[in-house]
Structure 1
């Protein structure tokens, strides 16, 4: 059989389009022969990554938002055509019932180590899982958190869904925006000591070395006082916080206890009276969706910097 050059070019192009796509997901490689058509994302920040890439029409729903958080106007508009399949973490039956072929989640972002929903338990049902990069510390070693964790997830989603150009443009825009902003910040010899207060009164739940706020705080000219804590999001003691004496407290706003209630708890507790942050009433609030990896991280850096140094 004879082939013209144009026919060969078309065949080569078709072959390229059908080539398998492989991405690294924590300690695994995941291969896709076609882009997912029935995807589910868990948690508000992961869902926003899908939406910012224009993938709503490849999704059959989302999970894990309303059980803990509320949607702002932008998020409501983005998911108005999609059902929330589970208010908190989904069960395997929820994912199977939606005929899902892809689950974008993370460890402690929709999956638990040893739980019923994991890449291994979903594989026999044809549901492929991509894991949030920040969360990989829960199942092995990884470098200290950085903005690259978020960029990596956007890039990998771009590969998985074959929207690489859009992902690359987003990442380039985020990097340029952040570089322009941080270039305007004055260089300081001693970064501000910052504590991240997520929740808890008896013992505070906070961000350690591997949680996104550490990278956000550093970009804004501060230093997380718990950046030597070899965890992602975890519990510490108030004694450790007092000993390290933060100059600023970053409150993560979500759940039944409001940011103002968390601030009031710290301001009124005699145990914290000598903290520099309390004496000077220096608190900055980040919404959950800003403090976790996702498209709002660049604006979160700006918000932190303005709280640290003023407009």
Structure 2
């Protein structure tokens, strides 16, 4: 069970953001913050986010996102006009979201520096990974809070005890969308987005035969694959596939080629990224004496997804539908 992430908020009208260690915004940040707008029901708002207390007086209006999962959720909620900067894009945006992000600055290919973030004067930094908030990255959460800048991490990416999902499922992903809707005062859009995603899932029938599948994300000497608890496992399970790494209680794991050969997947899901393309993976699989004998390699049963679809977020439901369509096309 995931810990409760919301708490009743009895906050001052000034914006107060505090890390779980007790660090709070200084007087100057509080004095500069706007008063709570009575038009926004539910504010002030407090959320326990990965063990960090995030408290906001009003819906964030100047948002920086780090990682595709965060950027795409903000855009999918129709809040592109609040984005003042993005960073760490894992894949190009889907065509349906490109125009909504037009003109938004891209700060960096990886996690941006704290200086680059602060130059944009955001009131919230929303990251897809906790690790984005570090001294050599966007800044530690407590440090940003002390400057009056809120932080938020996709709950599915929480790593601490009591916050890391034991096993991700679509209802948890939908809960994360709803919580973002609450944080950004976009609850109707969040509810509509969840309904659309559920409709996509309901349209997909599990594949026949429960084929054994490998989710191959990256790596060469030792491949990095989807484990038994994260978004890859969730997607494969919804498809009716048997994840050959389901015994690993983690989102991702390293799995030797020898173990993969023993488990002999019938289908390989290839994650396509600029730094490790699907075609590179196919070449590696087909040129190795060990992996060239895998059932999936002998039959060419490869399915492809962009990297951004492999992390918990708004692409997951469509990933289920896309993979089902690819497999159906292969089977004729």
Please tell me the TM-score bracket, short chain as reference. 0.7 to 0.9
Residues 67 and 87 of structure 2 are in contact (CA less than 8 Å); yes or no, is this contact kept in structure 1?
A: yes
**What are the superposed Cα offsets for residues 110-146 of structure 1, whole Å, 9 maximum, x if unpaired?**
3469966332332211221211122113665422011
User: How many Å separate the matches in 1 of 2:238 and 2:131?
Assistant: 24
Task: Tell me: CA distance 1:131–1:180, structure 2 relative to 1, closer, same or farther (3 Å).
Answer: same
Question: What 5-or-longer segments of structure 2 have no aligned partner?
Answer: 1-36
CA distance in 2, matches of 1:154, 1:44: 14
Match of 1:286 among 293, 305, 309: 305
Query: When the two structures are superposed, what TM-score results if normalisation uses the length of structure 1?
Result: 0.85
- 1:154–1:171 CA contact under 8 A, matched in 2: yes
CA distance in 1, matches of 2:93, 2:196: 25
Count of equivalent residues: 293
Q: Which has the higher helix share?
A: 1
Residues 16/51 of structure 1: CA separation in 2 closer, same or farther (3 Å cut)? closer
- Asked whether 1:36 is paired with 2:60, we answer yes
Aligned to 1:7: none
* Partner Cα separation in structure 2 for residue 138 and residue 194 of structure 1: 29
Secondary structure in 1 aligned to 2:312?
coil
**Aligned partners of 2:154, 2:106: CA distance in 1, in Å?**
20
Match of 1:142 in 2: 165
Partner of 1:199: 218
Deviation of 1:160 (Å)? 0.8
In the alignment, what sits opposite 1:158?
181
Shift of 1:290: 2.0
Say yes or no: does 1:76 pair with 2:98. Answer: yes
Counterpart in the other structure of 1:91: 113
Choose the corresponding residue for 1:216, options 235, 242, 248.
235
Give the 5 Å matches for 1:123-142. Answer: 123-137=145-159, 141-142=164-165
1:236 aligns with 2:255: yes
Q: For 1:57, what is the secondary structure of its paired residue? A: helix
Q: Which residue of 2 aligns with 1:61?
A: 85
Distance 1:257 1:16 in 2: 45
Q: Distance in 1 between matches of 2:210 and 2:124?
A: 42
For the aligned residue pairs, the C-alpha RMSD in angstroms reads: 2.5
- Name the residue aligned to 2:27: none
Runs of at least 5 residues in structure 1 that lack an aligned partner in the other structure: 1-12
SS at match of 2:46: strand
Query: What is the aligned partner in structure 1 of residue 274 from structure 2?
Result: 255
Greater Cα offset, 111-120 or 225-234:
111-120
Asked if the contact 2:303/2:326 (under 8 Å) is kept, the reply is: yes
| TM-score (normalised: structure 2) | 0.80
Q: Which residue of 2 aligns with 1:47?
A: 71
Indicate how the Cα distance of structure 1 residues 257 and 16 shifts in structure 2: closer, same or farther if over 3 A, else same: closer
- Equivalent in the alignment of 2:287: 268
Q: Tell me, in whole angstroms, the C-alpha distance in 2 between the residues paired with 1:256 and 1:115.
A: 21
In the aligned structure 2, how far is the partner of 1:273 from the partner of 1:177?
Answer: 35
Q: d(CA) in 2 for partners of 1:221 and 1:271?
A: 27
Task: Give the Cα–Cα distance (whole angstroms) in 2 for the partners of residues 112 and 238 of structure 1.
Answer: 34
Change (3 A) 1:113 1:263: farther
SS at match of 1:266: helix
Distance 2:88 2:287 in 1: 33
Evaluate the alpha carbon distance shift between residue 152 and residue 237 of structure 1 in structure 2; reply closer, same or farther with a 3 A threshold. same
| Partner-residue secondary structure (3-state), 1:181 | coil
Query: 2:127 matched to which residue of 1?
Result: 105
